[in-house]
Structure 1
């Protein structure tokens, strides 16, 4: 178990936070993004230009040998999207339909796959189709096609977008407050963090990534292959956050002890009811799946975090 040798002052922490305002430019940018997402692709003659959507075959070769994850057929690539390594899309500009071209490229030094990081490679690319994106028009027909409840007109859409951006600002502001306050607390505390606590935090981060990918219909293994990463590279990427989490949890648990915080049985039961409602499951099934003491610990930690944040002083820039 990790040990807190010195607990920093956790009451009255003072931090500076950013001022966030939604302006008309923010709303317009979101609208343009919506219009772009609903663009139609129109087949074109001529050569590839920035912004075109191409359908290509490609094969990546290192020292004349194809490497894993570097080959695809019928791949749709928007030129200028930055989807591929630097230079790939730029060197495709000017290609014609049916043309094959060798792209001489270098992988970034910090690329996820160690065997490709900094390597000189050749991509053999064949263009099969070239299409222009024709952006949708902002009118009531477009607004209705979005099927957003209670949004019928362009003005309704702009108001809805503004509300959404304001809610995002509130969430971002709350996250900034929490990150900065807890960052100061971690900096002012001395913690001996155990490897097992770091590993547990790392496992949680990996599980979170796995769950988020599953929501998009993608397995972790597919994601790693697409990103040319292996498990070790993913763990190295997540390790700093895992260490920070392990330190934070040790500090928060110490504050729970110092403040003698304890979530009541009634509050634990109320949280179980909320979980059953959220996941649309019977309460009995929820109780069979969760660790009640683990849930109580998490609720205790939330109490401690709120105590810290409620006493903090925020200066708006």
Structure 2
């Protein structure tokens, strides 16, 4: 993890509660398919007929707390600094002067031009590009073809793009790259000083400013994770000690349909069919996926019914005026043009449940006994294999056969022009976006991760 990025509020409080998660705080792209008010909701059925609610006054809930160390702060600051140095290619390059031949590990500064059938093709030309020899950055044969040649030398590389290459015009095609070797160098990470920090596009004027904000972000992450732990433990206890005797069929179908639609929207966001997304990212077949939807929809329907019963018991409700008022206050935060557009996309019933959940949680916090339990390190919890925190989702787009392009950093190289790379293209493009807005990228990916991995059972903040 490059750094702990504080969670961003997401308009959907729970995918499995039929919330539309296409409208996130990071301004996720809107799908053509609008969210519709669910055909049946827990509010439209006689939930009390099916729910035997536990004694809420006797509930005792233990939750996790979170902390961090001074070393965690220093590690996160260092990672962030090195990340921005890497994405902006502001390393210290020292020319190698005791030899002239290109070897593994050298950073070889080159000019090159690629031609197919004697004609230069788009994205195949650059000047002043620093290529790490042996990194596997460029297509097979390019880096290997430079080894043993000398500074100042010009040569032609006869190469072939892979058959599986994403650019159909180049896939499997024979090309010739004319390359000039300008110099060879070794690369070092610059010392982290106030001056080097100012030179990066991070909006910090000193190392101490980085340190302070990182500490604030870690503390906010601790607070957020503690609240999430409290809420998760609370609802786990309620559902464990309550009984739902039956889930009405129409309510179950509504949740199954909504979860399926939202899963498809995530696949659409990555430009693939649902079956491909399920197979390559979720790593399961469609039969298993459909069973997960069935289970998730059942659990979600039960929780929605319990929510309505608690709300009725506490005499809590959400009025039309409250829905309109909150929509007016928040639509701009989620990149909508109006409150009406926001509600049309999200669904009024979904938004009502979101607001009702807030009221019920506040009510429960006043009557349930909470006890602080295990204290966990926030950084270790984010890095654990089963972490549920909002971390970056790093999909391997090679699994989806996407076109492989890279953003490269050369003196005269335009972004998204280069078509040479065979691997790591999606990561490079994502890192370029992260440099502009790392928090937004992380929030969007985390929403996708929670939906895909948890089958829409986790509550989004």
Specify which structure has the higher proportion of strand: 1
Shift of 1:256: 1.8
Whole-Å separation in 2 of the counterparts to 1:205 and 1:232: 15
- TM-score after normalising by structure 1: 0.61
Q: 2:75 aligns with which of 13, 29, 38?
A: 29
What CA deviation, in whole Å up to 9, does each residue of 1:177-206 have, x standing for no partner? 000011000000111234554444344445
Whole-Å separation in 2 of the counterparts to 1:158 and 1:74: 43
What CA deviation, in whole Å up to 9, does each residue of 1:294-316 have, x standing for no partner? 53344233322321133222212
Q: Which deviates more, 153-162 or 262-271?
A: 262-271
Give the aligned CA root-mean-square deviation in angstroms: 3.7
| Contact 1:140/1:152, CA 8 A, preserved across alignment | yes
Shift of 1:236: 4.3
What corresponds to 1:259 in structure 2?
Answer: 314
Runs of at least 5 residues in structure 2 that lack an aligned partner in the other structure: 1-44, 94-101, 106-133, 141-161, 167-185, 374-461
For the structure 1 residues 218 and 253, does the alpha-carbon distance in structure 2 shift closer, same or farther, using more than 3 Å as the test? same
Whole-Å separation in 1 of the counterparts to 2:232 and 2:359: 16
Aligned partner of residue 262 in structure 1, secondary structure:
coil
Q: 1:299 aligns with which of 355, 358, 366?
A: 355
1:17 aligns with 2:63: yes
For the structure 1 residues 293 and 5, does the alpha-carbon distance in structure 2 shift closer, same or farther, using more than 3 Å as the test? closer
Runs of at least 5 residues in structure 1 that lack an aligned partner in the other structure: 47-51, 58-70, 76-131
- TM-score after normalising by structure 2: 0.44
Whole-Å separation in 1 of the counterparts to 2:103 and 2:267: 35
Structure-to-structure mapping, 1:115-264, within 5 angstroms: 135=189, 137-149=191-203, 151-191=204-244, 192-194=246-248, 196-209=250-263, 218-219=271-272, 221=274, 223-224=277-278, 226-227=280-281, 229-237=284-292, 240-264=295-319
Aligned partner of residue 263 in structure 1, secondary structure:
coil
| Contact 1:53/1:133, CA 8 A, preserved across alignment | no
For the structure 1 residues 237 and 286, does the alpha-carbon distance in structure 2 shift closer, same or farther, using more than 3 Å as the test? closer
What CA deviation, in whole Å up to 9, does each residue of 1:164-188 have, x standing for no partner? 1111111111110000011000000
Shift of 1:136: 5.4
Structure-to-structure mapping, 1:71-110, within 5 angstroms: none
Aligned partner of residue 16 in structure 1, secondary structure:
strand
1:45 aligns with 2:100: no
Aligned partner of residue 362 in structure 2, secondary structure:
helix
| Contact 2:343/2:351, CA 8 A, preserved across alignment | no
For the structure 1 residues 235 and 188, does the alpha-carbon distance in structure 2 shift closer, same or farther, using more than 3 Å as the test? same
Aligned partner of residue 65 in structure 2, secondary structure:
coil
**Aligned positions, number:** 241
Whole-Å separation in 2 of the counterparts to 1:136 and 1:237: 49
Aligned partner of residue 371 in structure 2, secondary structure:
strand
Q: 1:6 aligns with which of 28, 41, 52?
A: 52
